[in-house]
Structure 1
């Protein structure tokens, strides 16, 4: 009985390998089990067939890159960097948590970008869905509001820098600036603006840290960490000035000035 049991277990172990090695019957042209294909005309008289699996692979690849591209074209960069500076200035370690900061940044980004999204939908997406415009015209029309938003927030010096790096001549208008120049110039300007706002956030909290450290040194309490004492005062200051309303209002308003 034991030998039969072991033989049965060995057969079960090798059954998947036998199934994998079994020959697969070729799919004929009239077989209903064939995988649907997409035919793309590259040249007159020639075509390429893309199976459904390759189509899904290409779609998933685009979807993985799309969030990063969209975040670099919106106000998300400035908002998340400033909120990160705020948490460091307060010295609250992981409070608010990363999930809260990301969620707040995403919803504030949606609030700021709503006019741009409405213009992109009205100019490019809706005409394409209604059949009034082809994909070649719809994509530039939908991307134009994003490029205008980026260039309105971009410093002239950063735009000139990347124009020079791209070996391009100065552009006559903002409409002539390509995306490959507008996007890095916009991100550079956003990081510069976010660091400036972060410096302004650090100053009042740094003053509190210096005052607390000086008081503790004068009292001879050098073994006590000044951070522990200054943290309640920094939180109290931030609450008394209604810091969240002031900060979020300033962040949202900085994109409309």
Structure 2
């Protein structure tokens, strides 16, 4: 039950980081004014939920899949697995649902230490200041403070797995395009810089792995085509012969395990 609660907390928190402006441009010190409504006691907790609170909750649920995709290792996993399927030439086997499920399980496996660190960083605040219901009037302030407590482990993960060149590029781009009021407080470790840097870094790494995956299967296709052409069997599709050879190769070297192991070990 504790692991299930941890997973739910982690993915909900990722979605909140995705939609809240405070999470995108974090400041060094937390705003003490956000804690004022919580100090008023049960009166603030029992307030009726306002329209903005309801909209924020609905938006968080709607954007949760995108947050899981962009703020975890899911993006790289699903791209590499899709490229592996295309290299095999098996069309829809395994299906998209299976690839997404495998990528999600691998992302949970990779992100578990980060999720545990985020949970531990905000555990005491959650236990001492949790509102009676998430639809109460003080929920917005509570969520912002939880995000402020739990942001550092996620920021460290994004920083470790981001290419420095990409991070510098997006920092320079943000510095040129942002107003002067934001430039003086802009840092390379802000979420507004880290998020696009991390996404592009993951895509680059995924396609680098895809090139390595495609090479042996390309050789099989090339050799099969030349052999059939030399034998005069031009009416026979090379894919008919190459596909069993590809499947035999992936089974002999335990290719799925090698790909999964390589992807997991690629994260720091």
TM-score by length of 2: 0.71
> What is the CA distance between 1:50 and its match in structure 2?
7.3
1:130 aligns with 2:127: yes
Partner of 2:259: 247
Which protein is richer in strand relative to its size? Answer: 1
1:162–1:185 CA contact under 8 A, matched in 2? yes
**Larger RCO: 1 or 2 (CA < 8 Å, sep 6+):** 2
1:60 aligns with 2:72: no
2:76–2:203 CA contact under 8 A, matched in 1? yes
- The 1-side partners of 2:53 and 2:162 are apart by 37
- The 2-side partners of 1:98 and 1:128 are apart by 40
Partner of 1:108: 106
Partner of 2:153: 145
> What is the CA distance between 1:224 and its match in structure 2?
1.3
Change (3 A) 1:54 1:143: closer
1:127–1:138 CA contact under 8 A, matched in 2? no
Q: Which of 75, 78, 85 is matched with 1:80 structurally?
A: 78
> What is the CA distance between 1:227 and its match in structure 2?
0.8
Partner of 2:200: 188
- The 2-side partners of 1:249 and 1:139 are apart by 32
How many pairs does the alignment contain? 204
Gaps of 5+ in 1: 1-40, 42-48, 169-174
Q: Deviations over 1:38-79 (max 9, x none)?
A: xxx8xxxxxxx9766664343112211133123211100110
Q: Which has the larger radius of gyration?
A: 1
- The 2-side partners of 1:50 and 1:226 are apart by 68
2:188–2:194 CA contact under 8 A, matched in 1? no
Give me the CA root mean square deviation.
Answer: 2.4
TM-score by length of 1: 0.73
